[in-house]
Amino acid sequence: MQDNPDTEHQPEPQVRRRGIYLLPNLLTTGAMFGGFYAILSAMNGRFEQAAIAIFVAMFFDGLDGQVARMTNTQSAFGVQYDSLSDMVSFGVAPAVLCFSWMLQSLGKVGWAAAFVYASCAALRLARFNTQVDSVDKRFFIGLASPSAAALVAGMVWVGHSAEPSLATAIVAALVTSAAGILMVSNFRYKSLKGLDLKGRVPFMVILGVVLVLVIISIDPAAILLLLAMTYALSAPVFWLLKKVRRRQALAAEPPVVAAKSEPGNGDL
């Protein structure tokens, strides 16, 4: 039986191979490794190293997005991979760290506080993925998971050598739960994603960055915790001040008095 001459020399269809951008996803992998290392360190009682590893993961997480935007290597794969990395580094790792450090002494209350944080981190990341193309890039809706992780990790870093006590455990549970609730709140936090690292900046900006690094180097644990607390409380405080000013403005307005009608021909 002879082959069909029409199909004998037809070229085989070429399969288009799709790849991923190496540099930004490599940085994302570094962030996830920091979170993974933090989990293992926390489980082995090395709380200071675990807290530092979470801050290192924050550095890589902030760097991968900036590199992707600067090199025009953003992709849908990168968005999903970054969220999965964030869940490990800023969702699971801080919860495990705080539970291993102090929350386990509270029993069920402790693991409940840790689960509130981890579940809120997952909900916040899921909401962010669904709204990534529709929200204002200048703001975050809810506290970003790296900032919440900085709050919890900074707390542990500052108090990693403290003796376990009921008061400390309660404070840890309240801070961890509050960080989780802020992640799923509707407070608007200022975002730094619109920061242009390629453009020119005044000399004083560079000087300010150097001064900030010098101040952080004096006491990294305390300064980073203070910065995380300031940022986490900024949106609720501004919202409260706005509500107070609005009420004061309404109270300062003169009352509207209905004009009395003058007696006319039809009045008795």
Query: What CATH number is attached to the domain comprising 63?
Result: 1.20.120.1760
| Domain annotation covers residue 7 | no
pLDDT score recorded for residue 76: 80
| Domain annotation covers residue 136 | yes
Q: What is the pTM of this model?
A: 0.81
pLDDT score recorded for residue 100: 94
pLDDT score recorded for residue 55: 96
| Domain annotation covers residue 14 | no
pLDDT score recorded for residue 15: 43
pLDDT along the chain (268 residues), means of 10: 52 54 86 96 95 95 80 80 92 96 93 96 89 72 92 94 89 96 92 66 79 89 94 92 86 66 52
Three-state secondary structure of the chain: CCCCHHHHCCCCCCCCCCCCCHHHHHHHHHHHHHHHHHHHHHHCCCHHHHHHHHHHHHHHHHHHHHHHHHCCCCCHHHHHHHHHHHHHHHHHHHHHHHHHHCHHHHCHHHHHHHHHHHHHHHHHHHHHHHHCCCCCCCEEECCCHHHHHHHHHHHHHHCCCCCCCHHHHHHHHHHHHHHHHHHCCCCEEECCCCCCCCCCCCHHHHHHHHHHHHHHHHCHHHHHHHHHHHHHHHHHHHHHHHHHHHHHHHHHCCCCCCCCCCCCCCCC
pLDDT score recorded for residue 255: 65
| Domain annotation covers residue 128 | yes
| Domain annotation covers residue 154 | yes
| Domain annotation covers residue 143 | yes
> Please, what is the Cα angle at 248 between 246 and 250, to 5 degrees?
70
pLDDT score recorded for residue 128: 84
pLDDT score recorded for residue 268: 46
| Domain annotation covers residue 160 | yes
pLDDT score recorded for residue 167: 93
| Domain annotation covers residue 266 | no
pLDDT score recorded for residue 197: 61
The whole domain housing 86 covers: 22-250
Phi, psi of 190 (to 5 degrees): -65, 135
The total domain count for the chain is: 1
pLDDT score recorded for residue 175: 96
